[in-house]
Amino acid sequence: MKPKLPLFNNPELFQQALTHRSYVNENPNEKDNERLEFLGDAVLGFWVGKLLYDRYPEMSEAQLTRLRSALVNEKQLAELAENLSIGQLIRLGRGAQRDGGRENPALLSDTFEAIIGAYFLDAGIDAVRDYIYPLFSSLAEKIVRSPSDRAQTPNLVDCKNRFQQWALANHQQNPQYRIVKESGLDHAKEFTAEVLVNGEVYGTGTGHRKQIAEKRAAEDALLTLKKKGQMTKNE
């Protein structure tokens, strides 16, 4: 079933959410949607994070972060905006219209976030939850369950275990992890890890904790093996 836009009590808020700054340049008495976009980005990130936290209790912090990033990004939000026919509704200046603004992924994504921000002001935080959850829960399941999507977000499964299984099956040896770089201030460290088998580096990864850097190194190794055809779909 095709998704629908939320119903607003205050139509002026909805209109502002659809108003790009290029329209305001030609209509100075109007307000653009940039502040609403800022608010919507925060509200959307919160509720999608809460949805994933509740639905996937087995996932680590790194896995939840990766999944949220796979859900809340310009590409996904632009596709959602297209399904909602938001492009037809955006109030654009003449120049932005000529430049294809109604099909611009960044503009569509920003407008969707502005609508979420406006709906939060219009109907409250719980109404936003009730609107967001059906939209994103099915998409999250698709990413988690689809092999092709898992290949794009392999950190949703235990990458270190999977790579260890591959290393034992193909080299009869456990992978070795080493931290090769450490940078940043004490409160904002970033670590770079490598994963090796038989002395050969198979992947690298970075993270604000050593464990996350190692997991991302394993993730990188799995992606490399898939690209080279050295892993079967079931591994």
Cα–Cα distance for residue pair 85/100, rounded to 1 Å: 15
Among the options 32, 37, 110, 113, which is catalytic? 113
Instruction: Tell me how many degrees the CA angle 176-177-178 measures, rounded to the nearest 5.
Output: 125
Task: Please name every residue paired with 177 in a beta bridge, in sequence order, or none if there are none.
Answer: 195
Neighbour tally for 165: CB within 10 Å:
12
Instruction: Return contacts of 84-90, CB within 8 angstroms, 24+ apart.
Output: 84/3, 84/4, 84/5, 84/112, 86/5, 86/18, 86/111, 86/112, 86/115, 89/18, 90/18, 90/20
User: 37, 41, 194, 220: which one is catalytic?
Assistant: 41
**3-state class of 205 per DSSP?**
strand
CA distance 79 to 74: 9
Residues 121, 185 contacting (CB under 8 angstroms) = no
Q: With beta carbons less than 8 A apart as the criterion, state whether 155 and 215 touch.
A: yes
79 flagged as catalytic: no
Task: Please confirm, yes or no, whether 41 is among the known catalytic residues.
Answer: yes
User: What's at 106, amino acid-wise?
Assistant: A
Active-site residue list: 41, 113
